[in-house]
Structure 1
Amino acid sequence: MAKPLQQYKDDFDTKVLKVDRDSIHFDDHGRLSISDPDTEKALRMATEIIKKPGGVVGFPTETVYGLGGSSLSTESVKAIYAAKHRPADNPLISHISSIDQLKRRLLIPGQKIPAVYEGLIEKFWPGPLTIIMPIEDENKSPISPCVRANQPTFTVRMPVHPIARALIAMSDLPLAAPSANASTRPSPTLASHVYHDLKGRIPLILDGGACDVGLESTVIDGTVDPPMLLRPGGIPVEMIRKVGGPFWQKIVIAKKTAGKNEPVKTPGMKYKHYSPTAEVVLFLDCGDGVHSIKKYIKDHHLEAEKIGLLRSEYFADSSKMSGLISLERDLGQTGLDIQKNMFAELREVDELGVDYIFVEGVHEDHEGLAIMNRLTKAASVVVKNDEVTVRGPQ
C-alpha cells in the first residue's frame, strides 16, 4: 500500500513547474500524446503525487486553476479541504478525462448516465459544464463520501484544457478539484494566484498560463423536474435551453446562496466566496458612475481612503472623479472578456493595497448571469440607483 503524503501541515516546499499546453494532444479515440519532454516529466511527477493517499496538486483548467486529488480517496479529499481551509459540507466536483473513465471509475456496474444529459454532453463535453449524477447505491459507490458531502448525488465534468485532461488520463483517476485558492478568496486564474494562496500547503503547481474562461463551470441538475441551474458559469443558461431539448426549456435558476443549515449539491451555493481583503462595493444601474461614486465617497467619508475602480461598459474614467480614485482597471467590454479578467483584476487591485474596490455591475443575461453571481457574492455593499444595501459577502 502506498505511503500517504504528509498533510494537514503548512510545511511543503511548493514547486511550480511550467507545462506547455500546446505539446499535449488527444486523438479522436482519446489517446494521449505529449511532444515536449519537460511537460511530460512534470505531468508524470504530478501523477505520482495524486496516486498516493493524501496527494494533491494545483493545475490549470479552462475555467480556473483547480486543486486536485483522487475522488476515490478520502485521505486525498480531506487534504484538499485542509489545504483550502474549506468547510467539509461544501461538496467537490469530480473531473474526468473521458466518458469511458466516468463509467469505469465513478459509476457502479449497470449505472447509466441519465438520458436528459445526452445532448448537452455531446455539445459541451469536454468543456465548462458540470452535471449532477445520482448515487444509486451508497454501499457500492467508489466515490469518497467526502467528495459529495454525504449527499445522495455527485457532480462531474470533463475539462477541455489539455493539461487538466492529460493529468486525469495519465493517472486514470477522476480528480476532485475545487478552485485552487484559500477558501473565500477570489478564484485563481494564474499559477501565481495559487502560489500566493497555497504556498507551503501543497507540493506542486503545474503552470499552464492564464485560464481561458476565467470563472467556474456551469452546474446543472437534471435529476429533478423541472431541472435546475445550480451555478451559472462558463456555459450560459441560454445555451442550455437552446441545445438541451424540451426538458431543459423549463430550467429554473436556483437562489444564489443556500441557508446556513441547508445541504447543497454543488460548490458555490454556500459560505462566503470570491472576496478580496479590501471591501468590495458593487454599483448597479448608476449611469457613468460619476455621481454615484462621488456621493458614496462623500456620504461614507472615504475621501482619505485608497480606492480601486474596476470598470466595464458604462463607467467613466477616474479623471472625472476629482482624484478620488487611486487606481483603475478596465474589465472589458464583452461578457467573455469581463469573466476572463474579473478574478485576476480583483486580486491584482487588492494586492496593490487598496482599502475599497468599486466594481461596475453588468446586465444579468448570457455571461452576465455568472459574472453577477460572483460579484454579488464578493461584495459587502451594493449601490443601486444610489440606494445603498449593506449585505456582507455571501
Structure 2
Amino acid sequence: MRCSLIVRGSLRAVNRVMVTPTLGSVGKIEVPFDTKILSVKKDSIIFGKNELVPSITDKETEENLNIAANELINTNNVVAFPTETVYGLGGSALRDESVRAIYSAKNRPSDNPLIVHVSSIDQLKRKLLPKDYNLPSSYEKLLEKFWPGPLTILLPIFPGSPISNLVTANQDTFAVRLPNHPVARALIAISDTPLAAPSANASTRPSPTLASHVYHDLQKRIPYILDGGACEVGVESTVIDGLSNPPMILRPGGVSVEDIKQIGGDAWKDVVLAKKTAGKLEPVRTPGMKYRHYSPTAKVIVFTNCQDGIAAVQKYLKDHEINTSEIKVALLRSLNFASSQTIDSHIQLERDLGSSKSEVSHNLFKLLREVDELGVDLILVEGIDETNEGLAVMNRLTKAAFEVVDGSTTK
C-alpha cells in the first residue's frame, strides 16, 4: 500500500510559534526549545526505482517526517536525524540563518565547513549545480558503487551558487554526499532542501549514534530529533577530493582507502591521504581537519601495538602513578586485549568494542559516551591497525586521545 505524502509547498503548518534561538554573549541559547524526540521507522520508508520522493507505510513516521520537513522549509531552525554514519544536525544549505543556527546549536567554530546532504543526484544537479555541468569523471565509478552511502565528494563552487558561504567557510569548493539512511533521504526529499549537516553533537564531543546522545548534548538547543534507532556505520563519511591531482582522501570514514583504490580504478591508484590536522592558519577543506574532536569529558589513553595489553597498561599506570582504586577507570577492549585475564583488579568498567573492525567502528562513539556518562575519570582504549575500517577508527581515536601509547616499547 502506498501512502500519500504532503510535498513541498503544501506541508501543513505546525501549531506553535517558531522561534530561532540566538547566541548570547557567552554562546548560550537565549530562547530554549522544548526539544521533542519524534519516532520514525526506517523500514516503512520505500524509495522505488527512479522515484525521488518515497512511499511511507507507517502513519506516525509520515507525520513526524512532515513535521521535521515543515520546520526546515518554514523556519530557520535545525533538526537532528539519523544517517547510516552518525546522527546529523540539518539546516538549509541555501540560507545563511539556517547555517548560523547549526553553528550556534553546536557551538562550532565558523571556519569549520559543513557537508551538504542531498536526497538524489537529480536534486544535486537541480538545486546546487549549473544546468550544463557534468560531474567529474574521476567520481563516476565511486558514485555508482557508494551513492547512496558514506562517501562525500568535493565539487567546485560556481558563480551565482545558491549555497551559503557559511557552509563552505568562503572556500571555492563544497562537500556533498547522498546518504543511504531512509530517514535522512526522506527528510531531504520531502523538504526538497539540500541540508548542511554536521554530526548532531556539541562541538568536540563524541559523535552521536543514538537519538539519546543527541538529546544529551543538544536538548533545549533544537526543536526536534528524529529517532530512527542506532546508526549502522558508527563513524562519519569518507571525504574525497577528485578535483586535485593526485586525488586526495581528506577524511577517512565509512568507505575504506582500499575500496576507493579498488573501485575508483586508475584515477585513484595514486590517491594520497591528507594530513590529519590542518595548521592554525590553514583553511579547513573538510570537517575533522582542525580543532579538538570526538572527546569525552574523561581523559582518553589509546594503546597501540600491545598484543594482550597487560604489560602496556600496567606499565602506563605505574609510570604515571595512577592508583585505580582512587579514581574511576574504564577499559575498552577491541581485537587483542586479553579478556580472560585481569589487567588491573581495580578497573571498574570494562567493555568490548567488538571482534571485527566494522564492529569497533559501530561501537566506538557509543561506548565512549556510555562510560563517560557513568562518571569515569580515565578511559583506556585498545587501538587497532590502520587498514580498512581501522584507518577511520584510529583517526577518531587519536583526535579524542589525551595520549597515545605505543605498547611495543614495553617488549
Q: What TM-score do you get using the length of structure 2 for normalisation? A: 0.91
Secondary structure of the 1:245 match is helix
- Corresponding letter in the other structure for 2:362: K
Which of 175, 180, 193 aligns to 2:200? It is 180
Identity of aligned residues (%): 61
Kindly state the Cα deviation for residue 53 of structure 1 after the two structures are TM-superposed. 4.1
Aligned counterparts of 2:343 and 2:99: Cα–Cα separation in 1: 48
Could you tell me which residue of structure 2 aligns to residue 18 of structure 1? 39
- The answer on whether the counterparts of 2:20 and 2:75 sit within 8 Å (CA) in structure 1 is no
Could you tell me which residue of structure 2 aligns to residue 99 of structure 1? 121
Kindly state the Cα deviation for residue 52 of structure 1 after the two structures are TM-superposed. 2.8
Kindly state the Cα deviation for residue 286 of structure 1 after the two structures are TM-superposed. 1.5
- Corresponding letter in the other structure for 1:160: N
Aligned counterparts of 1:34 and 1:334: Cα–Cα separation in 2: 34
Q: Aligned Cα RMSD in Å? A: 1.5
Q: Call closer, same or farther: CA 1:322–1:156 in 2, change over 3 Å.
A: closer
Could you tell me which residue of structure 2 aligns to residue 369 of structure 1? 391
Secondary structure of the 1:320 match is coil
Secondary structure of the 2:167 match is coil
- The answer on whether the counterparts of 1:70 and 1:174 sit within 8 Å (CA) in structure 2 is yes
Could you tell me which residue of structure 2 aligns to residue 391 of structure 1? none
Q: Does 1:278 align with 2:298?
A: yes
Could you tell me which residue of structure 1 aligns to residue 143 of structure 2? 121
Residues 193-228 of structure 1 deviation map (CA, whole Å, 9 limit, x = unaligned):
000000000000000000010000000000100000
**Length, aligned pairs only:** 385
Secondary structure of the 2:316 match is helix
Kindly state the Cα deviation for residue 169 of structure 1 after the two structures are TM-superposed. 0.2
Structure 1: stretches of 5+ with no match in the other structure: 389-394
Which of 46, 50, 60 aligns to 1:29? It is 50
Which of 356, 369, 392 aligns to 1:334? It is 356
Q: Call closer, same or farther: CA 1:74–1:318 in 2, change over 3 Å.
A: farther
Residues 252-287 of structure 1 deviation map (CA, whole Å, 9 limit, x = unaligned):
011111111110211011100000000000001112
Which of 87, 91, 108 aligns to 1:69? It is 91
Q: Does 1:237 align with 2:257?
A: yes
Could you tell me which residue of structure 2 aligns to residue 193 of structure 1? 213
Kindly state the Cα deviation for residue 361 of structure 1 after the two structures are TM-superposed. 0.5
Aligned counterparts of 1:324 and 1:263: Cα–Cα separation in 2: 45
Kindly state the Cα deviation for residue 183 of structure 1 after the two structures are TM-superposed. 0.2
Residues 334-390 of structure 1 deviation map (CA, whole Å, 9 limit, x = unaligned):
1110000000000001011110000001000000000000000000111103659xx
Secondary structure of the 1:364 match is coil
Q: 141-150 or 320-329, which moves further after superposition?
A: 320-329
Could you tell me which residue of structure 2 aligns to residue 321 of structure 1? 343
Aligned counterparts of 1:386 and 1:200: Cα–Cα separation in 2: 46
Aligned counterparts of 2:219 and 2:18: Cα–Cα separation in 1: 20
- The answer on whether the counterparts of 2:72 and 2:91 sit within 8 Å (CA) in structure 1 is yes
- The answer on whether the counterparts of 1:90 and 1:267 sit within 8 Å (CA) in structure 2 is yes
Which of 24, 36, 52 aligns to 2:74? It is 52
Q: What TM-score do you get using the length of structure 1 for normalisation? A: 0.95
Which of 288, 299, 311 aligns to 1:291? It is 311
- Corresponding letter in the other structure for 1:94: V
Structure 2: stretches of 5+ with no match in the other structure: 1-12, 23-28
- The answer on whether the counterparts of 2:79 and 2:91 sit within 8 Å (CA) in structure 1 is yes
Q: 201-210 or 303-312, which moves further after superposition?
A: 303-312
Q: Does 1:207 align with 2:221?
A: no
Q: Call closer, same or farther: CA 1:311–1:37 in 2, change over 3 Å.
A: same
- Corresponding letter in the other structure for 1:285: N
Which of 85, 108, 112 aligns to 1:86? It is 108
